[in-house]
Amino acid sequence: MAAKVGITSDQVVDVASSVADREGATAVSLSSVAAALGVRSPSLYAHVDGLGGLRRPLDLRASGPTCCSATGSPTRSWVSLSQRRACARRDTPTAFAREHPGLYAALLPVPRLDEDAEGAAVAARTLTVTARVLSELGIDPSQLVDLIRALRAMLHG
Burial grade of 155 (CB within 10 A; 0-12, 13-18, 19 or more): middle
Q: Which of 132, 135, 127 is nearest to 151 (CA)?
A: 127
- Within 10 Å of residue 32's Cβ, how many Cβ atoms? 19
Instruction: Please report which helix (H) or strand (E) contains residue 156, including its range.
Output: helix 144-156
What is the pTM for the complete model shown?
A: 0.55
Query: Domain 9-58: which topology?
Result: Arc Repressor Mutant, subunit A (1.10.10)
- Contact call for residues 83 and 155 (beta carbons, < 8 A): no
Instruction: Please report which helix (H) or strand (E) contains residue 157, including its range.
Output: none
Q: In the chain, where are the structural domains located?
A: 9-58, 63-156
Burial grade of 76 (CB within 10 A; 0-12, 13-18, 19 or more): exposed
Tens of each residue's pLDDT in the chain, 157 residues? 455 557 898 899 899 989 988 888 888 899 999 999 999 999 999 998 888 888 878 877 776 554 444 444 444 444 455 555 555 544 443 466 777 777 777 766 777 778 777 777 777 777 787 788 888 888 898 998 898 888 777 766 5
Q: Which of 90, 110, 87, 85 is nearest to 100 (CA)?
A: 90
